[in-house]
Each structure stands twice: as C-alpha cells, then as structure tokens.
Structure 1
Amino acid sequence: MSLAYVVDDVFAEHRPPIGHPERPERIAAVRAAVAAAGLEARGQRLPTRAAGEDEIGRVHQPAYVDELIRLVPGHSGQLDADTFFSPGTWDATLKAAGAVIDLTRAVLDGQVQRGLALVRPPGHHAEADRAMGFCLINNVAVGAAAARALGAARVAIVDWDVHHGNGTQHIFEADPSVLFMSVHQYPYYPGTGAPTEIGVGAGRGATVNVGLPAGCGDVEYEAVFEQVFLPALRRFRPDLILISSGFDTYVADPLAAMRVTARGFRTMARALARVSDELCEGRLVCALEGGYDLTGLGHGAVAVLDAFAPAPGRPEPDADEPDGDQPDGDQPDGDQIGPDDHFSGMHQAVEYGSVAAAAQAAIDKTQAALDAAGGVLTP
C-alpha cells in the first residue's frame, strides 16, 4: 500500500479542562470521519510507539524535557495560560511524536509513500524550551529532525494551520537543511509569522511566511500554493515533505476567521502529493495540528485522505460530490466576493473583492522579502 497511518485510543486520553477547545472529541470526530471514508482499506496501520528522550532532545532543550518529565506524567496541571495536562497527557504526547517519527521512517525506507498521523496533542507552537498554545512537544519538528538523522539531506515543512507555527520556525530558522513554510491568518495568535521573517544566519531564505487577512478562502489559499509554496519546493528540492495540518482555517471554526472548505483542503493536499511525486518519490507525511469545529475536522481529514490514497472507483469529489461545508455550497457574500466556482483548482487567479486583493498584497510582500534575500535557498 502507498499509505501508512497512525490512530490510537491513547490520543483521547489527553484531557484538558471541560470547555477547552483542544478536547478529546476532536480526535473522535477525525477517526469517525476517516473510518466512514474507508481508511482501513486505503492504508496500513502502524502501531504507536512513545518517542524516546533522545529523539525529542534533537529539537527540545534538556532542561525543558526534564521539566516535562517531572511535572506531567500521571498528573493534572497547567504549563501556560492555554496548555494543560492530565494523567494521560504524557503517554499521548510521547506517542504523538513517536507516530510522526515512525511514519517518517516508513516513508524514507520506501515501505510506503505517504504517512498520516491522526494524533493529539498538537505540536507546532511548542518552542525548544517551553510549551505554548496547547502544544507540549513539537511533533513535526521531531519528525523533521528524525528525517535528518535517518539521512534526508533536505526536509520541507508546510504548515497550513490558521495560527503561525512559531515553535517549528524558531527551531529551524538557522538551519539551511529544513525549509519551513507557513500560511496563516495574520495578524493573529501567536503574533509571529510576518513576511519579513525569512530565517537567520545560514538559514536565511529557508523560512517562508504568508500572513493572510481574515476572510480568505479556497481561492486565496490556492494562490499561495501556486505563487509561493510550489515554486519554493521546486527550488529547494526536499527529500521529504511534512505537513502541519491544522483544520482551523475551516469556514465554521470557532477560533479563527478564515473560510476554507473541504475542497480547499483537498486541493492543497493534492498539490503537495503531486509535487512530492515530482521532487522526492512521493515522500509525504501529514500530522494533525489544530481545528476546533468537529465537522470541519472530519471534512479536512477525509480531504487529505482522498489526496493521499484515493479510493478505487470513488468519483472525484471536486466534480461529483458536494462537501456540505455550507448550506448553499458557496462562500458567503460580502468582502469575500468571487466567481460562482471557487474550486477551479490551483490556476484560478485571485482577482475578486477586497479580501482577495489584500491576500494578493500579502503574497507580494512575502515574495518581495524573499527576493531581497536572494530567494528561497537552493541545494
């Protein structure tokens, strides 16, 4: 099979206080949706394994790992204003990181082409030395470091969570072997991700940030991929692509103000699947990050599954299937003004409405910052 995946009951055992948006029901919604879409028939399930201290220590400082080991296992508490832990959190955290490592290894070893880590807690806000934004260990960063240790010369990370992946950026911003690219709502939490943040030192040109205004939808995200991300990947030529896949850009997500639908997620995932086929023999691993509307989580996870491992005989969703994302099947009127068909693929120009114009301006700022640095790093 071309797909391996990790799902496990352990990821529901991380239990923040009642009312916290990063709740166990998130992973239940994802599992139910991909099960109904036939996940078991489309890929092979890998067992869960806890990441070791040495594997986590490639990206997190020893004092921070020691603090987590002292505070978290078997206890309940709080690491910052947003990040809580419960008696089952440490096991879930280690196994979330271990899942990304093991899927990365399976892809690099050629056992499969794609990997799908349906895990929690999320990771991309976790800094080298502290928890942040619901995240304790930076799962994708741990996976990227594992890939380098396993022999990958260059690793690319694409983060489409609505919140900027500050932790991942800071861990790798001086590392020319890891390309980090984020498209996110900006300005917004956590306050980082300006277009001028392009890496430091030897890593200058290996960080790419596109901060989009609130209200952007499928067309605007497709433009980011077409104009910025896909050209950058072709220039960098990674041996592996990792996705920090937050579904909180979904049109109904309660923690943000973007308007992406399932078709948008599917288009982004397909674009990365195709470019991975072109550049790195299809090596592509996706890890769940945010997403707080349960319907949106299910739609997004199935969209990625469809892109990674299309079901035999299933009609192309873009042509034949309604997504059910919005009652009328269209994006709302108002500032988000566009053509009747918002889902015409990666080559739809962004020409409509004030939000679209602001999105294009954001893309242009990113391109200008990269041009001033000499462009995205090349091998």
Structure 2
Amino acid sequence: MRDTCVLVKSSFSKTRTTTRTTRTTRTKSSSSSKEVSKSDILYAHVENAEHDSLGHPECAARIPAILEKLENDSEFFLERKKDQSIVLLENPPLATVEDLVPLDIHSQNYMKSLEFLAKTKAPCQIDASTYMTPSSFEAALASIGASNALVDAVLKGKTKTGFALVRPPGHHAVVKGPMGFCLFNTAAAAVRYAQTQYPNDIKKVLVYDFDVHHGNGTNDIFAKDPTVLFVSTHEDGSFPGTGKISDIGQDEGEGTNINVPLPTGAGEKSVLEAFDLVVEPAARRFQPDFIVVSAGYDAHWRDPLANLNFRSRTYHYLSSRLKKLSEDLCDGKIVFLLEGGYDLTGLPEGVAESFAALVGEKSLEQKDPGLFEEPFEKAKKVIQEVKSVHQLL
C-alpha cells in the first residue's frame, strides 16, 4: 500500500490498469542532441514507463498505445516518415531544475519539495489524484525537456510543427503544487521558454487547450499576463470545477483568459462552433507570435473520465484549423503538447487524426460511431455569451 504525502488536495477517479515498458534514459541538456532537416512534423515521445501506478488512468500504456496506432495502423505515417516529412526527435534532452527556475512557472520551494518526496517518500500519493514514484520528478523534467526541444526546433525553422507525446500531463499543475495527475506545467514552461529564449521574436503567445478538463494551472499562471492569450474549451462542471465564462484574467491580463465551458454531451458540432466563433477571432485579434496547444484527447466519446462526445475525426478538424491559424498569424509556428486522454483506443485514434491533419492527409475515421445527438442549442448559448463578454465580432 502506498504512503500518502499530501501537498495539495484534489479529486479524480481511478479506473484503469496498466502495463510496464522499458524505461528510456536521457542526458541532461538544454538543446537537442541531433540536428534534423526541416519537416512537416518533428515529434518526440517520452514514455516515462516507471512513472506508473497500478489501476491509475494516467498509466504507462498511454504513449505505447499511440505509437502502436501511428507506426502499425496508419499508412500515411509510415509513408511520411520515409520521405522525412514526419521526423522523430531521438533522445530528447532532460530539463533540469536550473532550467526551470528562470521560467518562473513554479515556486522553488515546490520544486525542491517534489524532488525531496521522490527521493525519500515515493511511491506515495501527493493528493487524491496524483501519484509519485521514485522516477516521477525526473519524468516531469523529461517531458519539459522534450517539449522545449521541439519549441527550439520550430522557432529555429527546423520544422513546421512540433508534437510532444509526453507524460505526465501538465495543465492542472499550479505555481505551488501538483494537481489532477500533473506535476509540472509543461505548456506554461513551453510558453516561458519561447519568450525568454527568443525575446526578439516571441513576445505574444496563444495557448489553446482542448482537453475535456479546464487547464486551471495554465489559466492561473498567466491570469495577469497580457502577453499570453489562454483559451480553453472544456466540459462545464468537470474536474477541477474551474473555467467559468466569468474567469477572464486579472489586472493587466484582464481579457486574455477566455473560457468556453461546453455543456455535458457536447460534441464535434459544438467545439467547432466554439473554435470558429471564439478561438479563431480571439486569436486573430491578439496576433500571437507563436501557438502552444494543450492537446488533451479525453473529450473523446470513449473516454471514461468525462462526458463530452468528440469523434476521432473531431481532432482532425481542430488540428487542421489550428495549423491554418498558425500559418495565417505566425508563420506556422505551433507546438502540440499531449495532455489527457485515458481510453487506449480513443486516445491513439485522436492523436493519429491530428497527425494526419497536420500533414494534409484526410481523416482516417471510416465509420460514424452513432453517438447521441449533442445539446447544440445549449452550446450555442454558451458560445454567444463568451462572444459578448469578450466583445468578439
């Protein structure tokens, strides 16, 4: 039985068993160890196999399931790897605490306490939903290292799009603590890394979060920052219960947090309406220099942890729109970072759809899953209210 070492309190259900895979070692570095030619997608995968807890939905099987779908069940992926329009970033670097300090996304006390827990108390529960193993601290650093290496590649013009298949997720992690499976906020780190390492080129960043759960950590970290536009579409009332329309940012950042809480049961039609009427016009008004996507796939109808009804192809449509938006606004500079997605069929299907869209392939979905009709009229009312609050034309 696990010890409990409480830093903060939160709640999430545990529903899934897991399998273990071999751990990959990495070197600590601030940049990629391998130069690559320009590609449509440069992707990295960090499985973090030893960051695992029996029966927990955020399990070590998630990344292997995605890779199995891409490498063995997606013909376009293999073809694009052969012509090097899709390229793997091998042996992505491991970030260090010293790398994170100047990014100022988490308190130093929190980072030190997390490292101490990993060394002395793990395996343990940090809160009701977030676990810690002896490798978890390094796992979170590895995810940030890989993600920031992709930021480098995109901003240096080595690739059109970066896609980080990493875990644990990050968008719930707040300044002073973990939450909702998340230890460090990977998306916030990517934003600050881009702004601090490329200050002459990257001043304003758009973060779009399509995870089914509100990215409260990212929301709060940038709440007072007018240089970051955070836009989230999520299920109203789901964990962690934040992300209301009225949460618009604070002080100088007022108006740069845009939250679209979709009604339970909403699906493809609703989220695309939200994108077209809220996300895109807000982005065009903001004029970002770079786009970071918190790409969660748990709004899929198969996912056990929430109740939105996206189809697999919905992620194709979203990713295609995001790619076009990045090309129109910031010379195509965009990085996708994996967040949630806990069904081992829905998750890989959704990611494969995103990859297909980003290289101009058609949707892979062949069959309508026969979902119930979504509450589109309710969703439209929410979207219209968001438009009114944020004065979007």
TM-score range (shorter-chain normalised) is: 0.7 to 0.9
TM-score, length-normalised on structure 2?
0.84
Q: In the alignment, residue 72 of structure 1 is paired with which amino acid?
A: A
Q: In the alignment, residue 165 of structure 1 is paired with which amino acid?
A: G
Instruction: Report deviation, 1:332.
Output: 2.4
The residue that corresponds to 1:3 in the other structure is 41
Note the 1:337-356 alignment, pairs <5 A. 355-356=375-376
Q: In the alignment, residue 32 of structure 1 is paired with which amino acid?
A: E
Q: In the alignment, residue 55 of structure 1 is paired with which amino acid?
A: D
Q: Distance in 2 between matches of 1:287 and 1:177?
A: 20
TM-score, length-normalised on structure 1?
0.87
Q: Distance in 2 between matches of 1:284 and 1:308?
A: 11
The residue that corresponds to 2:338 in the other structure is 288
- Find out whether 1:25 has 2:23 as its counterpart: no
- Find out whether 1:365 has 2:385 as its counterpart: yes
Instruction: Report deviation, 1:164.
Output: 0.1
| Residue 214 of structure 1, aligned match among 239, 245, 264 | 264
Asked if the contact 1:183/1:211 (under 8 Å) is kept, the reply is yes
1:115-163: per-residue Cα shift (whole Å, max 9, x none)?
Answer: 0000000000000100000000000110000011122111110000000
Instruction: Report deviation, 1:303.
Output: 1.0
Q: Distance in 1 between matches of 2:290 and 2:312?
A: 25
Instruction: Report deviation, 1:2.
Output: 2.3
1:355-375: per-residue Cα shift (whole Å, max 9, x none)?
Answer: 10110111112112213xxx6
The residue that corresponds to 2:99 in the other structure is 55
Q: Distance in 2 between matches of 1:356 and 1:12?
A: 40
1:98-131: per-residue Cα shift (whole Å, max 9, x none)?
Answer: 1111111111111111000000000000001000
Q: In the alignment, residue 190 of structure 2 is paired with which amino acid?
A: G
Aligned residues: 341
1:72 alignment partner, SS class: helix
Q: Distance in 2 between matches of 1:90 and 1:268?
A: 32
Q: Distance in 2 between matches of 1:256 and 1:323?
A: 24
1:360 alignment partner, SS class: helix
Identity in percent: 36
Change (3 A) 1:131 1:322: closer
1:363 alignment partner, SS class: helix
The residue that corresponds to 2:51 in the other structure is 14
Asked if the contact 1:212/1:359 (under 8 Å) is kept, the reply is yes
**How much is the aligned-residue C-alpha RMSD, in angstroms?**
1.6
Note the 1:310-349 alignment, pairs <5 A. 310=360, 316-317=362-363, 321-324=364-367, 329-333=368-372, 335-336=373-374
Change (3 A) 1:287 1:153: same
The residue that corresponds to 1:64 in the other structure is 110
The residue that corresponds to 2:278 in the other structure is 228
1:81 alignment partner, SS class: coil
The residue that corresponds to 2:88 in the other structure is 45
Q: Distance in 1 between matches of 2:318 and 2:50?
A: 30
Q: Distance in 2 between matches of 1:331 and 1:194?
A: 30
The residue that corresponds to 1:351 in the other structure is none
2:283 alignment partner, SS class: helix
Instruction: Report deviation, 1:43.
Output: 1.9
Asked if the contact 1:106/1:112 (under 8 Å) is kept, the reply is yes
2:365 alignment partner, SS class: coil
The residue that corresponds to 2:174 in the other structure is 127
Q: Distance in 2 between matches of 1:116 and 1:183?
A: 20
Q: Distance in 1 between matches of 2:274 and 2:131?
A: 34
Instruction: Report deviation, 1:73.
Output: 4.3
Structure 1 stretch 36-45 or stretch 286-295: which is displaced more?
36-45
Q: Distance in 1 between matches of 2:145 and 2:132?
A: 18
- Find out whether 1:110 has 2:149 as its counterpart: no
The residue that corresponds to 2:183 in the other structure is 136
Note the 1:159-308 alignment, pairs <5 A. 159-308=209-358
**Displaced runs of 4+ in structure 1, greater than 6 A?**
none
The residue that corresponds to 2:32 in the other structure is none
Change (3 A) 1:301 1:322: closer
Q: Distance in 1 between matches of 2:369 and 2:106?
A: 43
Q: In the alignment, residue 57 of structure 2 is paired with which amino acid?
A: P
Asked if the contact 1:262/1:323 (under 8 Å) is kept, the reply is no
Q: Distance in 2 between matches of 1:310 and 1:105?
A: 23
Q: Distance in 2 between matches of 1:269 and 1:63?
A: 37
Q: In the alignment, residue 52 of structure 2 is paired with which amino acid?
A: R
2:166 alignment partner, SS class: coil
Q: Distance in 2 between matches of 1:65 and 1:155?
A: 25
1:188-244: per-residue Cα shift (whole Å, max 9, x none)?
Answer: 210110011111011111110000011111111100110000111111111111110
- Find out whether 1:157 has 2:196 as its counterpart: no
Change (3 A) 1:331 1:356: farther
The residue that corresponds to 1:341 in the other structure is none
Asked if the contact 2:46/2:63 (under 8 Å) is kept, the reply is no
Q: Distance in 2 between matches of 1:323 and 1:159?
A: 26
Instruction: Report deviation, 1:8.
Output: 3.6
